[in-house]
Structure 1
Amino acid sequence: MTPTSNKSQLAIIFFTVFLYLVGFGVVIPILPILSRNFGATATQTGLLLSVYSAMQFIFSPFWGRLSDRLGRRPILLFCLVGEGLSYILFAWARSLEWLFVARILAGFFGASISTASAYISDITPKHERSKGMALIGVAFGLGFVVGPALGGGLAVWGHHIDATPHFDTSFSFLWVAALCFLNFLFGIKFLKESLSEKSESAEKKKRFSTMWHYLNVKTVGPLMTVFLLSSLAMSGMEATLILFMGEKFQWDVKQVSFGFAYIGVIIIFTQGFLVRRLLPKWGERKVLRLGIFLLALGITGIAFSDNLVAMAITMTLLSLGNGLANPSTLGSISLLTDSKEQGAAMGVTQSMASLGRILGPAIGGMLYQHISMTSPFWVSGSMAFLGFAIVILIFKSIPDHAKSHIAKART
C-alpha cells in the first residue's frame, strides 16, 4: 500500500474501533436503569458489564488467529454486522435474560478489536508501529467521552418522541446499530485487505496453548503481563472512583461523568498528539517507562487526595500515563512478533486487557466494601508499580524502532 492508501485505511480502522467503544460507552448510563427495570440486583447489573469483557477475553485470540488465516478484511466486516445485530437485540430485549444474551453477543463480535490491531501492524512500517497503535487508544478515549454522552442524549431524545416504557433505550441502541451497518457499507467499498501472506499454521494452535506460548516468549510475555497489570489498575480505579467521589466530595453521577470525560480528553490528547511527538525523540522504551510510572503515581495519588485540586492532578497524571503506556506496549509487542502471527499476538494481548477488565472491577468493589474507601487505589496503584518494575527489568530488550529510525534518517 502507498502512504496515502495507508492513511485512508487507518482512518477506516480508527472509525471501526471507535464504534466498538462508543457502543460500549453508550451502555454505561443506560444499562443500570434498564436492568433495574427488569428486576436485576446490583450484582446482576455488574455481571452485565463484566460479561462483555469476559467474551472479549475468551474470543480475542480466536478472531486474531482466524484473521491470520482468512485475512483481516472479512473478519472485520463480519464482526461489524454481528455487532450491529447485537445492538438490535439489545434494543428489543424485554427481560434480563435477553439483556445478557445481547451483551454476550456484543462482546463476542467486539473481541475482533485484536484484528484491528493486527491490521494496523500490517500497514505501518516498524518505526511508526507504536504511533499506529496509538490510534486504538485515541479511539478508546473518544469512545469513553462520546459514548456515555451519546447514550444519555439519545435516551432523552427518544423519551421526547415516545414516552412508552423502554422506547428511549431502544431508540439509543438502534442508532448505534445503524452506525455499525453504515461502517460495514463503508468498509465494503473502501477497506482493503492488509495481510499479504496468510498463515495456514495459525489454526493448529489451541487458544490456551497460544496464550501460554506468547506469555513465555522473551520480552513479549513480560510486556503482555504489563498490559494486564495496567488494565487491572485502570478498571479497578474506574469501578470505584464514582463511589469514592460521591462519599468524599458529594459528587453525583453528572459530575463524575464530566470527570471521566476529562480522563478521556487527556488520553485523546496524549495518544493523538503527545505520543507522536515523544516517540521519535525518546523511543518506545522510554515512553513506556514514563507512561507506566505516571499511571502508577496517579492512581495511588487518589488515596492521598483530600481536595478537588489534588484529584485533578492525579486524574491528569493517570490519564497521561495510560495514554503513553498503552500504545508503547502494543507497538513493542507487535515489533517483537513475526509478521505472520500479528493477529494471534494482538489477540492474546487484548485478552490480557479483557481479563483485567473482568477482574479489576470485582477486586476494586470488594476492597471498597470490605477494607476501606482508599484501598482499591492502593492496590491498583501497586499493580501499576509492579508493571513499572517489570519494564525496568526488561528495559534494554524493549524495541526502540521509532527513535532509531529518526537517527538513521539524520545520518
Structure 2
Amino acid sequence: MKRAYLIVLMVMAMDAVGIGLVMPVLPGLLREVGHVDDIGWIYGAFLSSYAAMQVVFSPLLGALSDRYGRRPLLLLALAGSMVNYLFMAFAPSLSLLFAGRILAGITGASMAVASAFIADMTEEDRRARGFGHLSAAYGVGFIAGPALGGVLGDIWLRAPFLAAAALNGLNLFLAFFLLPEPKCAVGPGEMPSLNPLAPLRWAFTFPALLPLLGAMIVLGLVGEIGGTIWVLYVQDRFGWDLFTVGISLALFGLFHAGAQGFVAGPIAERWGERRTLLIAILADSIAYVSIALAWQSWMAFALLPLFCLGGIGSPALQSLLTARIGADHQGRLQGVLTSLMSLVSVVGPLAIAMLYFRTRAFFPGLVWIAGAALYALCLPLLLARPAPRDEAARPG
C-alpha cells in the first residue's frame, strides 16, 4: 500500500511537470501555428477549452472509476494527456491544436482519480495529510516544469511538447506496471449514467455536502486571485521586472509544497479539519489585506509564507467531504470537486481581471480586499455544529 501511495504522488508530480513544461512556450506556438501576432482571444479560448471539458466530464470519469476501478481511469487520463502533447508538438493548424486540447480535457481526470486513490488508501483521520501530500507533489512539479520548458523552448519551440509527451508516456508505463488497484475502489454497483451532469445532481442530493461544496467554491475562487493578477499587481505596485516576478513565483512554489506536505496533515490530525480550515482562512485573509496595503517590495516577499499557510484549507476541506461519502462513491465525489474547481477556473479569472482593471487606477489592492471578504461566506460552516457522520452520509 505504501508503494502504491508513493507511485500516485510520483505520477502526479510528473503530470504537473508535463503541464509546466509547455507553459512558457504555449503563446509562441499559438502565434506560429495561427500566423497571428495578437493571440488574446485564441490564448484565452485555448486555456478555457480544457477547463470547460473538465467541468462536464470529470464527474462522469470519477463515477466510472467507482464502477470500473481507479487504475483504468488513471491510465486513460495519462494516455489522453500524452496524445494531447503529441498533437501540440506536430499540429500544423489551430484546429488540430484545439482538438488535442479538447481531448485532453475530456480524458484529463488524473487529479480526480488520484484524489480518489488517496481517499481509498488512507484512514479517514489522515486524509488531510494525504491530500496535502498530493497537492505538494503537484506543486513540486510546477516548480521544475516551467524552468525546464523555458530551456527546451529556446532550442526548439515544440521541444517542450515532445518532452511532456515522453514524460506522460513514462507516467503511463509506471502506472500500468507498478500501480495496483486499491482494494476498496471497485464496486459491483449499477452502471453510472452517461449524462455528464448526473454526478453533479447526485452530489446535491446530500444535504450535508452542500455547505462544504459551497466552501470549496469560495476557496477556489479566492485562490484564483493570486494566479490571475499576481504578475500584473507586483509590476503595477512595485515595478518588478520579470526576473523578480519569476523569483517570487519559485519561492511561492517552494513554500506551497512545504505547507501542503508538512503542515496541512499534522495540523488537521491535531486540531481537526474545521480548525485547520479556520487557520487557513485567517492566514489567507491577513495575507490578502496586507498585500493590498503593502507599499514596499520586501513586504510581498515576506507575505509569501502566509499565503501558502492559507493553502492548507483545501486538503482539510477535501478530507471533510470524503468523510461524508462512502468508500464506493469516492471517485464520483472527486470528479464533482474537479468539475466545480474547473468551473471556477473558467469564470473566476474573467471576473477577477475585470474587477482589477476597473479599480487599479484608484486602488489596485481592492481585488485582494474583496477576496478576503469572500471568506465571510464560510463562517456559518465553521461556526455550525458538526453533523454526525452517519446522518451526513444519507441523501436528502
Normalising by the residue count of structure 2, what TM-score does the alignment of the two structures yield? 0.90
User: Which residue identity does 2:21 align to in structure 1?
Assistant: V
Q: 1:398 to 1:241 in 2, by over 3 A?
A: farther
User: Which residue identity does 2:134 align to in structure 1?
Assistant: I
Out of 280, 299, 311, the position equivalent to 2:288 is 299
Matched, 1:382 2:383: no
Tell me how far 1:79 sits from its aligned partner: 1.7
Structure 2 unmatched runs, 5+: 390-396
CA distance in 2 between partners of 1:119 and 1:48 (Å): 29
Q: Is the 8 A contact 2:273 2:320 kept in 1?
A: yes
Deviations 1:283-304, CA, capped at 9 Å, x for gaps = 2121111112222332333221
Matched residue SS, 2:272: helix
2:259 matched residue in structure 1: 270
Within-5 A mapping of 1:213-224: 213-224=202-213
Out of 22, 28, 43, the position equivalent to 2:23 is 28
User: Which residue identity does 2:286 align to in structure 1?
Assistant: L
1:184 matched residue in structure 2: 172
CA distance in 2 between partners of 1:215 and 1:260 (Å): 37
1:13 matched residue in structure 2: 8
Q: 1:371 to 1:36 in 2, by over 3 A?
A: farther
Q: 1:325 to 1:250 in 2, by over 3 A?
A: same
1:311 matched residue in structure 2: 300
Tell me how far 1:202 sits from its aligned partner: 5.3
CA distance in 2 between partners of 1:341 and 1:224 (Å): 16
Matched residue SS, 1:201: coil
CA distance in 1 between partners of 2:385 and 2:191 (Å): 30
Q: Is the 8 A contact 1:20 1:110 kept in 2?
A: no
Q: Is the 8 A contact 1:293 1:385 kept in 2?
A: no
CA distance in 1 between partners of 2:368 and 2:2 (Å): 39
CA distance in 2 between partners of 1:108 and 1:299 (Å): 34
Matched, 1:98 2:88: no
Matched, 1:67 2:65: yes
Q: 1:379 to 1:185 in 2, by over 3 A?
A: same
Out of 336, 353, 373, the position equivalent to 2:341 is 353
Out of 243, 246, 258, the position equivalent to 1:257 is 246
Tell me how far 1:11 sits from its aligned partner: 1.2
Range that drifts further, 102-111 or 67-76? 102-111
Within-5 A mapping of 1:11-410: 11-37=6-32, 38=34, 39=36, 40-156=38-154, 159=155, 168-196=156-184, 197-201=186-190, 203-204=192-193, 206-322=195-311, 324-372=312-360, 373-387=364-378, 389-394=379-384, 396-397=386-387
Range that drifts further, 244-253 or 369-378? 369-378
Tell me how far 1:396 sits from its aligned partner: 2.8
Q: Is the 8 A contact 2:22 2:164 kept in 1?
A: no
CA distance in 1 between partners of 2:140 and 2:241 (Å): 22
Structure 1 unmatched runs, 5+: 1-5, 160-167, 400-411
Q: Is the 8 A contact 2:18 2:168 kept in 1?
A: no
1:162 matched residue in structure 2: none
Q: 1:93 to 1:204 in 2, by over 3 A?
A: closer
CA distance in 2 between partners of 1:104 and 1:375 (Å): 35
User: Which residue identity does 1:382 align to in structure 2?
Assistant: A
CA distance in 2 between partners of 1:96 and 1:319 (Å): 37
Length, aligned pairs only: 382
Matched residue SS, 1:130: helix
Deviations 1:138-197, CA, capped at 9 Å, x for gaps = 1231133122112112213xx2xxxxxxxx231111111111111211122111111434
Q: Is the 8 A contact 2:78 2:110 kept in 1?
A: no
CA distance in 1 between partners of 2:281 and 2:376 (Å): 7
Q: 1:248 to 1:305 in 2, by over 3 A?
A: same
CA RMSD across the alignment: 2.1
User: Equivalent pairs: percent with the same residue?
Assistant: 30
User: Which residue identity does 2:86 align to in structure 1?
Assistant: I
Tell me how far 1:395 sits from its aligned partner: 5.5
Range that drifts further, 90-99 or 143-152? 90-99
Q: Is the 8 A contact 2:203 2:333 kept in 1?
A: yes
- After TM superposition, where is structure 1 displaced by more than 3 Å over at least 4 residues in a row? 204-207
Q: Is the 8 A contact 2:67 2:192 kept in 1?
A: yes
